[in-house]
């Protein structure tokens, strides 16, 4: 009886001891995570990528994002929603929501700093319109920009030309295709479906008109940067060959605006292409050239940092993001 009792007592003592030990351990456990708790801060992205092209330096900037419903009906207007959704799902993409990124680019030739497109500007802040902040992060200031090249006049490309009613790049001259300028400055562009771009052209481009020069297919912006007509997306949409010390890259503007849908199905119509068939023909021509010549390209709406390659695949092409090719 006493043995049993003492046994119980020993067990009781062990339980009590465990309890005593457990108490501070448990309370420490409950306090520690609370002390270490980090706040949720949302998605973040790098704001620039600076890279080499022969003797040139280039950088792409993350102006921001827009997250509309899609890819259908923005992409694949001439096919069924189901077909577009299947292509998205087959490529591990959401079928109902998408993200469009904006990537202006600078080229430092050593003599001039040339900026291609200016982002969305104040109209889309805070989600986009962050070019100036991204440039600052990369070590550039707006007053260093010597030339601003506008690939075409859509709002995500000319929105950042002016800031608070003043030129955002005060020392720059401007270059674009004459057909683009003429189309968006004609009176009809202030009406109906064209009015949004027409009015933005009036506020952001026209005040700079005397600093604009027009470029044609095959002409040079500066030595090493040559225009290549790529119409269809808009009447004067222009791409650019950039070359230094035998290294080449194509700056494509908006010739191909979804890294899966427009690459794998270049024939599919896109809402933002003004001439659907013309844009598809340009897309196939440029993608074919990039795939056969195996040169890198940067294009405004490719996944950031928007530098990659194109590989032929099936009835279309595949996007191959650059890794370290441009760092060496």
Q: Is residue 180 near Zn ion by the rule CB under 5 A? A: no
Nearer to Zn ion (CB atom), residue 118 or residue 264: 118
State in angstroms the smallest separation of the CB of 179 from Zn ion.
17
Q: Cβ–Cβ contacts within 10 Å for residue 81, how many?
A: 13
Nearer to Zn ion (CB atom), residue 128 or residue 326: 128
The stretches of the chain forming alpha helices (DSSP H) are 2-36, 81-90, 131-138, 155-158, 178-185, 195-204, 261-264, 276-293
Q: Is residue 156 near Zn ion by the rule CB under 5 A? A: yes
Ordered strands of the 307-313 beta sheet: 220-222, 225-229, 238-244, 247-251, 297-298, 307-313, 316-321
Asked whether the beta carbons of 144 and 258 are under 8 A apart, the reply is no
State in angstroms the smallest separation of the CB of 42 from Zn ion.
24
Nearer to Zn ion (CB atom), residue 154 or residue 318: 154
Q: Is residue 254 near Zn ion by the rule CB under 5 A? A: yes
The CA-atom distances, in angstroms, between 3 and each of 7, 11, 246 are 6, 12, 94
Nearer to Zn ion (CB atom), residue 159 or residue 296: 159
Nearer to Zn ion (CB atom), residue 224 or residue 266: 266
- 58 is written with which tokens? 């280039």
Angle at 175 between CA 187 and CA 109, to 5 degrees: 165
Q: Is residue 273 near Zn ion by the rule CB under 5 A? A: no
Q: Is residue 63 near Zn ion by the rule CB under 5 A? A: no
- 137 is written with which tokens? 């992060």
| 165 backbone φψ class: left, alpha, beta (φ>0; ψ -120 to 50) | left
Which of 54, 171, 66 lies closest to 115, judged by CA?
171
Nearer to Zn ion (CB atom), residue 56 or residue 205: 205
136-155 footprint of Zn ion as x/- string (CB under 5 A): ------------------x-
Q: In the 8-state DSSP scheme, what is residue 206?
A: G
State in angstroms the smallest separation of the CB of 154 from Zn ion.
5
State in angstroms the smallest separation of the CB of 234 from Zn ion.
10
State in angstroms the smallest separation of the CB of 306 from Zn ion.
11
Nearer to Zn ion (CB atom), residue 254 or residue 273: 254
Tell me how many residues contact Zn ion (CB under 5 A). 3
State in angstroms the smallest separation of the CB of 299 from Zn ion.
9
State in angstroms the smallest separation of the CB of 239 from Zn ion.
13
Site residues, Zn ion (CB under 5 A): 154, 156, 254
């Amino acid at each position: 009886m006493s043995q049993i009792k003492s046994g119980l007592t020993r067990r009781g003592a062990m339980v009590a001891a465990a309890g005593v030990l457990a108490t501070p351990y448990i309370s420490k456990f409950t306090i520690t995570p609370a002390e270490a708790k980090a706040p949720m801060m949302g998605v973040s992205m790098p704001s620039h990528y600076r890279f080499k092209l022969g003797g040139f330096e280039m950088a792409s900037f993350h102006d921001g994002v827009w997250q509309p419903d899609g890819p259908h009906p923005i992409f694949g207007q001439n096919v069924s929603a189901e077909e577009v959704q299947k292509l998205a799902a087959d490529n591990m993409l959401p079928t109902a929501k998408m993200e469009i990124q904006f990537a202006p680019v600078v080229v430092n030739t050593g003599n001039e700093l040339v900026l291609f497109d200016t982002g969305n500007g104040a109209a889309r802040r805070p989600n986009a319109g962050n070019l100036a902040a991204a440039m600052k992060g990369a070590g550039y200031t707006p007053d260093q920009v010597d030339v601003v090249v506008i690939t075409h006049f859509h709002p995500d490309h000319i929105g950042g030309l002016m800031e608070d009613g003043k030129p955002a790049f005060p020392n720059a001259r401007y270059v674009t295709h004459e057909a683009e300028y003429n189309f968006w400055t004609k009176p009809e562009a202030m009406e109906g479906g064209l009015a949004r771009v027409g009015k933005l052209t009036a506020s952001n481009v026209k005040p700079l008109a005397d600093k604009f020069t027009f470029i044609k297919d095959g002409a040079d912006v500066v030595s090493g940067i040559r225009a290549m007509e790529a119409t269809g997306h808009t009447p004067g949409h222009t791409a650019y060959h950039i070359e230094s010390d035998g290294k080449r890259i194509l700056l494509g503007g908006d010739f191909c605006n979804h890294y899966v849908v427009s690459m794998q199905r270049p024939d599919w119509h896109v809402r933002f292409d003004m001439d659907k068939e013309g844009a598809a023909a340009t897309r196939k021509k440029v993608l074919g050239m990039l795939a056969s010549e195996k040169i890198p390209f940067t294009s405004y709406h490719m996944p950031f940092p928007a530098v990659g390659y194109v590989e032929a695949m099936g009835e279309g092409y595949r996007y191959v993001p650059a890794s370290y090719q441009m760092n060496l």
